[in-house]
Structure 1
Amino acid sequence: MKEDYIKLIFGLKLRQIRNDKDLSLYGLSKLSGLSKSYLNEIENGKKYPKPDKIVLLAEKLEVPYDQLVSLKLDKKLAPIGRLLESNVFKEIPLELFGIKERHLIELVSNAPDKVSAFISTIIEIAQHYNFSKESFYLASLRSYQEANYNYFKHLEDEATAIANRFQINLSSSIKSKDLKEILIEEYHYKINAEALGHQHGLENLRSVFVPKSKTLLVHHEVDESQRTFIYAKELAYQHLKIEQRVNTFPWLSFDSFDPVLNNFYASYVAGALILSKQILDIKLKAIFEKDTFDKSAFLQLINSFNASPESFYQRLTNILPASFGIKNLFFLRHTHQVGTDDYWLKKELHLAHQHSPRANETDEHYCRRWASIKVFKKITSSNKEHEMDIQISEFPEPDVKYLILSSATKDPFKDGHYRSITIGMFIDKSLERKIKFIKDPSLNSYKVGVTCERCSITDCDVRKSPPKHLIKQEKHNQVANLVRELMHEFE
């Protein structure tokens, strides 16, 4: 980027000086004797003039030579400089989104004032909401997933290749001991299940990988399904020959976007290995074709895999778009601590468009009628390991309904903590044809909002806060109407 950066900065400064002097490109061409096309290429960051040309431009524009060649930008262009000096263009693989680096540079050079204002706005918002670099990387990853409906054929093929190479039977439940043996025999891993978890401060880590010695430290309290996923993910890392990776699960930090993307790739392959697409396609089709929801068959399907309910629901976000054409869906993961009235949305994915249930950073109260929230009440009162619920959620917007499947489980690493995992599918004629039990009259339907503060439902018995945003908007509308009447009176 360094050469392109220098060209672009020079071009931006030349254009700014020319505009400040109210000179057209044609006018500068006449003044300097340089061709209009040549000057245009300079301003667009495609060419850097030779020293004698810079001397000529400085003389004709009546600015110091050092001002033109300096990489320092004034306040007006400073945000663009901050962006270009950062590693954003290098850390985010733009080709994943079909974007060429040159296109971004041309965008900046063609409208520097507007781009500068936009970048300043983004920076201000990020600072206001404490939007970290890690958050930016994860948001970029979500956008990549959403752009591909979270289905990646090449990663599905890699899971199949692993199964073929090591003769793993995908039609049966995969056991951790089999994957452990592959890691040890084929990739010379050393696996330690004692060191991690006994040291204060590391209780919440499931695993730590030490690349130099190929030692995998696994928390002694992880259950069989978690252990299987950890081993499957390590197997994926080795099979894909990934070196830039995160070495802890869960991750602690990211230095660049590559480990974020690679972590996703390895996790996806692990999920595809443990949760067979072929089996899911057949079993889900049978459940969807019934006139009523067969809860026992759904739970039996979850339990037929050596995977956690969360892994199962995440795998559904791959399978539903690819095998059933159900792309209008969302995935949510909430956490909750017993004895509190707080529910935190820790993970979300929205395919097709930004759906109504979504995270907010304004300390508002999520709708207590969400299945995601209601299953917490069920599991804390029953004290079971897993509780599952289904409902139809009707949002205030016209014809916005979702079929919701939600499960709650205990957090094995935090006493008194629970998590819920939710899949929501937008209900339209297409979904009604694919999932017959949607029309079952016994299926519970609830009017829901996003947060109490923004909810217009008047008969809610679980509201935690008045609809202050709607009240504020109503007052604004009343004032606007009075002003219109007043203006009409004095026309």
Structure 2
Amino acid sequence: MKEENIRIIFGLKLKQLRKDKNLSLQDLSEKTGISISYLNEIEKSKKYPKADKVFKLAAALEVEYDYLVSLQLEDKMKPIADLLHSDILSELPLNLFGIDAGTLIELLSDTPTKLNAFIITLMDISRAYGISLEEFFLSALRAYQEMHDNYFPELEKQVNLFKKAHQVDTSPKLEELKAILEQQFGYEISYFDFEKEVGLPKTRTLTLPGKTPKLLLNPNLTENQALFALGRELGYAYLDLKNRPYSSSWIAVNSFEEVLQHFKASYFSCALIIPEKEITKDLEDFFSQPELDPELLLQLIEKYNVTPETLVYRITNILPKHFGLKELFFLRISKNIPSGQFSLDKELYLTGIHHPHASKNQEDYCRRWVSATIFNDFSKSNTSRIGKAQYSFYPDGQSYFVFALAYQSGLKKQEQISISFGLKVNALFKKKVKFHNDPKIPLKYVGNTCQYCPIENCEERVAPATKLRAMQAKLEKEEKLNKVKKLFS
């Protein structure tokens, strides 16, 4: 067990024993000769007393020395003990949210019965929904992004410093980034066919650390995928990010720090390839048009030589910062062509949970989303990518402008990808987006999942509204019981 957790357990035990004896810190200080300030630091997990002080504390609290220094806690604090023994607190990114592990445990210990029950409930929920540690880390990262409106000025600054130091063009080229990695950071870069050699078709890169780092690139990458991969590796090198993942396809996530370092390097690459000032001007031009022109956005894919996903993600960095449009979401949906199955792979929401959002209940996502209907349009087209927009109206009255892009997966030929961003329709949206009243933008009533959708006679429905009917039956039952209560009141 880590030293910090040992201090936490000792502090918890000391505080609980003191309270059980109805002793104040002043009382315990008088019995032991240990200052109040030092006792307070022990209970707050800041200090661990030496043996002579432990003997004094054990005598004052009328317990054995061995019991006081043991790592066991009373049964009512068992969930806290389980947390500490699992070392999970050291894996959680508490510092990103301004939370100290000792403070958290102190809060839990103040009302152990209620909060321990809460911990058990969270654990039960995570088991019931099959939430892995990797999914927890990724959820924590999304929360971290949302707290900062997905815009990180320090990383933007580092990108500008890097460009100045290495005289990088506004729109860097593949060979340019490759040369910087090799000449300035001592990398050896070569191509390795992961599918042909070891049967790993989706692996894009593998970094072999050492005195001379080796970067293996999948030769089947498109040019824009390779450009992003080189930019990300430069992010790792220039920002000196340690404890990082070395493969583009994670086999296992060992810590939150790995997830965070991967995010920072990816953000660096995105900002390096798509400069902040340039993309802001492009978006101003796009939104200033009296009518929606999808091609204005689509042509940015070629302008910056990026994938649609990189472009749309970069847009989610810029809109909150430079346009004030913070109520937005980002979705990545993949479609397996042979089976026709959809998978919501990535999602990001700023300023709260917006429609649509993922569910772990094995529910069927609404096939009326433009993010889903665009697949049919893409299959009929003869282009490498298409763009499509619609206004989506939800049962709770909220509406969103959603722009989706669809394209063929670069490495997995049997897969199509849909990338979309949605903006909540409000007064600010109408002020910033001049084409908001373009009559050619289709309007559609949509839901989140078929199981909760109230839309009747829906041709796109793939499952009955079982969850909605169950919820309605519950409300109806409550209403009938209230009528009975009124009869006897």
Alignment TM-score, normalising by the size of structure 2: 0.91
1:469 is matched with: 467
Tell me by how many angstroms 1:40 deviates.
Answer: 6.8
Corresponding letter in the other structure for 1:77: M
Do 2:309 and 2:419's aligned partners in 1 also have CA atoms closer than 8 Å?
yes
Do 1:197 and 1:220's aligned partners in 2 also have CA atoms closer than 8 Å?
no
Aligned pair in 2 of structure 1 residues 42, 231: CA closer, same or farther (>3 Å)? closer
User: What are the superposed Cα offsets for residues 246-276 of structure 1, whole Å, 9 maximum, x if unpaired?
Assistant: 1111333221122211111111111011111
2:476 is matched with: 478
Aligned pair in 2 of structure 1 residues 27, 90: CA closer, same or farther (>3 Å)? closer
2:142 is matched with: 142
Do 2:330 and 2:422's aligned partners in 1 also have CA atoms closer than 8 Å?
yes
Tell me by how many angstroms 1:12 deviates.
Answer: 3.1
2:122 is aligned with 1:119: no
1:419 is matched with: 417
Do 1:194 and 1:220's aligned partners in 2 also have CA atoms closer than 8 Å?
yes
Corresponding letter in the other structure for 2:78: A
Do 2:190 and 2:217's aligned partners in 1 also have CA atoms closer than 8 Å?
yes
1:228 is matched with: 227
Tell me by how many angstroms 1:420 deviates.
Answer: 0.8
- Structure 1 window deviating more from structure 2 (66-75 vs 475-484): it is 66-75
User: What are the superposed Cα offsets for residues 157-186 of structure 1, whole Å, 9 maximum, x if unpaired?
Assistant: 11112211221111xx43211111221222
1:97 is matched with: 97
Aligned pair in 2 of structure 1 residues 65, 379: CA closer, same or farther (>3 Å)? same
Q: State the alpha-carbon separation in 2 of the partners of residues 472 and 52 from structure 1.
A: 61
Tell me by how many angstroms 1:138 deviates.
Answer: 1.2
2:285 is aligned with 1:286: yes
Do 1:338 and 1:380's aligned partners in 2 also have CA atoms closer than 8 Å?
no
Q: CA RMSD, aligned part only? A: 2.6
Corresponding letter in the other structure for 1:222: L
| Alignment gaps of 5+ in structure 1 | none
2:348 is aligned with 1:338: no
Q: State the alpha-carbon separation in 2 of the partners of residues 165 and 313 from structure 1.
A: 28
Corresponding letter in the other structure for 2:95: E
1:448 is matched with: 446
User: What are the superposed Cα offsets for residues 448-488 of structure 1, whole Å, 9 maximum, x if unpaired?
Assistant: 11001011122422111121111111211222222222222
Tell me by how many angstroms 1:227 deviates.
Answer: 0.8
Secondary structure (helix, strand or coil) at the match of 1:198 reads helix
Tell me by how many angstroms 1:383 deviates.
Answer: 5.2
Tell me by how many angstroms 1:124 deviates.
Answer: 1.8
Do 1:12 and 1:112's aligned partners in 2 also have CA atoms closer than 8 Å?
no
2:187 is aligned with 1:199: no
Q: State the alpha-carbon separation in 2 of the partners of residues 52 and 103 from structure 1.
A: 26
Corresponding letter in the other structure for 1:210: L
What's the % identity of the aligned pairs?
Answer: 36
Tell me by how many angstroms 1:195 deviates.
Answer: 4.6
Do 1:8 and 1:109's aligned partners in 2 also have CA atoms closer than 8 Å?
no
Q: State the alpha-carbon separation in 2 of the partners of residues 232 and 472 from structure 1.
A: 50
1:318 is matched with: 317
| Alignment gaps of 5+ in structure 2 | none
Do 1:334 and 1:421's aligned partners in 2 also have CA atoms closer than 8 Å?
yes
Tell me by how many angstroms 1:237 deviates.
Answer: 1.4
Alignment TM-score, normalising by the size of structure 1: 0.91
User: What are the superposed Cα offsets for residues 357-413 of structure 1, whole Å, 9 maximum, x if unpaired?
Assistant: 111111111011111111111122335321211011111112x11110111111122
1:181 is matched with: 179
Aligned pair in 2 of structure 1 residues 194, 485: CA closer, same or farther (>3 Å)? closer
Aligned pair in 2 of structure 1 residues 94, 488: CA closer, same or farther (>3 Å)? closer
Tell me by how many angstroms 1:82 deviates.
Answer: 2.2
Corresponding letter in the other structure for 1:460: C
1:348 is matched with: 347
Secondary structure (helix, strand or coil) at the match of 1:192 reads strand
Q: State the alpha-carbon separation in 2 of the partners of residues 425 and 315 from structure 1.
A: 15
Q: State the alpha-carbon separation in 1 of the partners of residues 157 and 10 from structure 2.
A: 47
Q: State the alpha-carbon separation in 2 of the partners of residues 481 and 198 from structure 1.
A: 64
Q: State the alpha-carbon separation in 2 of the partners of residues 187 and 215 from structure 1.
A: 11
User: What are the superposed Cα offsets for residues 288-347 of structure 1, whole Å, 9 maximum, x if unpaired?
Assistant: 111110122222223211100010001011011111111110101011111324211111
Q: Size of the alignment, in residue pairs? A: 483
Q: State the alpha-carbon separation in 1 of the partners of residues 275 and 31 from structure 2.
A: 69
Q: State the alpha-carbon separation in 2 of the partners of residues 274 and 368 from structure 1.
A: 34
Aligned pair in 2 of structure 1 residues 82, 287: CA closer, same or farther (>3 Å)? same
User: What are the superposed Cα offsets for residues 188-224 of structure 1, whole Å, 9 maximum, x if unpaired?
Assistant: 2211114533223222101111112411111111011
2:130 is matched with: 130
Corresponding letter in the other structure for 2:388: D
Do 1:58 and 1:68's aligned partners in 2 also have CA atoms closer than 8 Å?
no
Q: How does 1:259-270 map to 2 (within 5 A)?
A: 259-270=258-269
1:53 is matched with: 56
Secondary structure (helix, strand or coil) at the match of 2:298 reads helix
2:429 is matched with: 431
Secondary structure (helix, strand or coil) at the match of 1:263 reads helix
User: What are the superposed Cα offsets for residues 83-132 of structure 1, whole Å, 9 maximum, x if unpaired?
Assistant: 22344443344332223344323323323333322222222222222222
Do 2:193 and 2:220's aligned partners in 1 also have CA atoms closer than 8 Å?
no
Tell me by how many angstroms 1:64 deviates.
Answer: 5.2
